[in-house]
Amino acid sequence: MFRNQYDTDVTTWSPAGRLFQVEYAMEAVKQGSAAIGLRSKTHVVLGCVNKANSELSSHQKKIFKVDDHIGVAIAGLTADGRVLSRYMRNECINYNFTYESPLPVGRLVVQLADKAQVCTQRSWKRPYGVGLLVAGLDESGAHLYYNCPSGNYFEYQAFAIGSRSQAAKTYLERRFENFTDSSRDDLVKDAITAIRETLQGETLKSSICTIAVVGIGEPFHILDQGTVQQIIDTFEIAAEQEGPAAEPDAAEQSAAAADQGGSTDEGVAPMDI
Amino acid sequence: MTKQQANWSPYDNNGGSCVAIAGADYCVIAADTRMSTGYNILTREYSKICKLADKCVMASSGFQADVKALQKQLAARHLIYQHQHNKQMSCPAMAQLLSNTLYYKRFFPYYSFNVLGGLDNEGKGCVFTYDAVGSYEKVGYSSQGSGSTLITPFLDNQLKSPSPLLLPAQDAVTPLGEAEAIDLIKTVFASASERDIYTGDKIEIVVVNADGIRREYMELRKD
């Protein structure tokens, strides 16, 4: 992006009414490797791309179990994400201790958002550089939320964050109307397909992605590599018969152009969307 | 000028007895299901046994409100452990945690007399016995609660390992089969409920072994 005289600390407004430090924090989310989430009436599936620093190292953990009924996938500064997961786990444990019932997802998400907001209004703090996809189940059904560094949160039917997430978003936009009534297995297949979109031609294998599921009668858990590989195998066979997927590259370019258009002072600040 | 005595106590004793016996590859934990206060019975069907981890079960007698609070504390701490270590707590680890949790309230104790039973990391049965402030010891068998004075001598007679001063050193694990241990428990509770007014109604027996955890019940005298 660009530097200007209003981006030194988070407590400085720009003349256009923007907090650049917060927007830069949102940029950090876009730099992280992709994470996607989608939900049906009864299940929520999270998926992420496993990025390793080098061939020698293991990949970073991006999906965390928060409680039996809540899980989170992160993109951006994974260290910030780890700290926030620990906070979420604590909140769930404390709520359960006091009320002997699981913390409703909507409540947790608001607490997270308030925590993020504090960091946008203190001169000695910086915003969390991580976007969280919170998947959870409570009495009112299955939920998928996205928490930004800005302190905003939104509920989604399906969403993708991180680098090359636009490709996944395009795929999800085409298919999301079917998700509400999808079966659990179809939802997982859609998640893996969405992840494949972000890989831009790289071979899809179970070592490169992590999938987690939470649903009615199914506590949050991360699927093991063997199961994921089996699912990949089933539809790789189907895909061979269909032919390669439509151009993700064209979609990427138009999305990039749109981004730059919004980046000038005249454009809408990203956190206001 | 005599010392002023408290006219209210934060504690109550809900009675009951707990027993645990460790075997080579199993552990049996049992407690009666009677909850009393004074000379009255509050309920005949109260469970004093709590599963803390996959292979770790605790039975506690004493003041059940404190017992409940203690169980909740341990469950919450166990959840944190699982998040951080990605696995269940072993029985010896839980034993240390329980001791620390009890001593934390050394100056306003949990009125809870506990026996912890389960399998250690190698799959061998283990029993840990506690006092109210966390002093604990790994043993082959133990009994706590109102009937313990009646039960312990009988268990000593049947199971006591030779003195630790004797050489060669002997294992803390008693050489008893699972079915024999359960039978012994039933005998022991039947005897205790004859003379201890706070023990009776039903025994809840929990067996922890390699196959998992299972539960049994046996009726006792209702008087």
| DSSP letter for each residue of B47-106 | --EEEEETTEEEEEEE-HHHHHHHHHHHHHHHHHHHHHHSSPPPHHHHHHHHHHHHHHTT
The pLDDT tens digits for A209-240 are 999 999 999 999 999 999 999 999 887 766 66
- Does A36 have pLDDT greater than 80? yes
Instruction: Please check whether residue B85 touches A, CB under 8 A.
Output: no
User: What is the structure's pLDDT at A270?
Assistant: 54
For residue A236, what pLDDT is reported?
72
In whole angstroms, give the CA distance from residue B49 to residue B71.
Answer: 10
pLDDT of residue A205: 84
Report in angstroms the alpha-carbon separations of B191 from B43, B96, B183, B188, B203.
21, 32, 13, 5, 12
Inter-chain CB proximity A65 and B72 less than 8 Å: no
pLDDT above 70 covers what percent of chain A?
Answer: 86
pLDDT at A249: 42
Q: Distance (Å) from the C-alpha of residue A61 to the closest C-alpha of chain B?
A: 13
* Min Cα separation A97/chain B (Å): 7
Q: What is the average per-residue pLDDT within B70-80?
A: 97
- For the four alpha carbons of A220, A225, A230 and A235, in that order, the dihedral sign comes to positive
Q: A202 pLDDT band (50/70/90 cuts)?
A: confident
Cross-chain residue pair A93–B72, CB shorter than 8 Å: no
| Two tokens, residue B86 | 């990605």
**Minimal Cα–Cα distance from A124 to chain B, Å?**
29
The CA distance from B47 to the nearest CA of chain A, in Å, is 18
Chain A CB within 8 Å of residue B79 CB: yes
Contacts of B79 in chain A (CB under 8 A): 89, 93
CA dist B17 and B213 (Å) reads 21
Please check whether residue B18 is in contact with residue B29, taking contact to mean a CB–CB distance below 8 angstroms.
yes
Q: What is the pLDDT of residues B181-222, one digit of tens each?
A: 999 999 999 999 999 999 999 999 999 999 999 999 999 999
More confident residue, B93 or A273: B93
Percent share of chain A, pLDDT over 90: 73
Contacts of B76 in chain A (CB under 8 A): 93-94, 96-97
Query: Region A153-175: what's the mean pLDDT?
Result: 95
Residue-wise pLDDT tens digits, A92-103:
999 999 999 999
pLDDT at A55: 82
**Pairwise CA distance, residues A151 & A166, whole Å:** 22
Contacts with B117 (C-beta within 8 Å, 6 or more apart), sequence order: B20, B21, B22, B27, B28, B29, B56, B57, B58, B59, B91, B125, B126, B127, B128, B206, B208
**Cβ neighbours of B72 in A, within 8 Å:** 97
Task: Tell which wins on pLDDT, A249 or A39.
Answer: A39
How many A-B residue pairs are in contact by the CB < 8 A criterion? Answer: 13
| Nearest C-alpha neighbor of A73 from the set A43, A102, A38, A101 | A38
Report d(CA B27, CA B29) in Å as an integer. Answer: 7
Phi–psi pair at A222, nearest 5 degrees: -90, 130
pLDDT at A235: 78
Which chain B positions have a beta carbon within 8 Å of A93's beta carbon? 76, 79-80
Q: What is the pLDDT confidence band of residue A259, given thresholds at 50, 70 and 90?
A: very low
With CB atoms and an 8 Å threshold, state whether B76 touches A89: no
DSSP state string for A83-107: HHHHHHHHHHHHHHHHHSSPPPHHH
Closest-approach residue (CA) in chain A for B77:
A93
Mean pLDDT along residues B95-109:
98
Residue A251 predicted with pLDDT over 50: no
Characterize the bridge pairing of strands A153-155 and B212-219: unpaired
Q: Which of B68, B70, B79, B101 to mutate to test the interface with A (most CBs of A within 10 A)?
A: B79
pLDDT of amino acid B172: 57
Distance, in Å, from the CA atom of B85 to the CA atom of B80, rounded to the nearest integer, reads 9
pLDDT in tens, A182-196: 999 999 999 999 999
Residue A156 in contact with residue A179, Cβ under 8 Å?
A: no
Per-residue pLDDT of A112-134, as tens digits, reads: 999 999 999 999 999 999 999 99
Secondary structure (3-state) at A63: strand
Mutate to test the interface with B, among A85, A97, A103 (most CBs of B within 10 A): A97
Confidence of residue A246 (pLDDT cuts 50, 70, 90): very low
pLDDT tens column, B133-170: 999 999 999 999 999 999 999 999 888 766 667 666 66
How distant is the Cα of A93 from the closest Cα of chain B, in angstroms? 6
Whole-complex ipTM? 0.85
pLDDT over threshold 80, residue B173: no
pLDDT value, residue B200: 95
Interchain proximity B80–A93, CB inside 8 Å: yes
pLDDT of residue B209: 94
Task: Give the contacts of A68 (CB within 8 A, at least 6 positions apart).
Answer: A102, A219, A220
Partner A contacted by B86 (CB < 8 A): no
Q: What pLDDT sits at residue B162?
A: 64
Q: Return the DSSP state at B162.
A: P
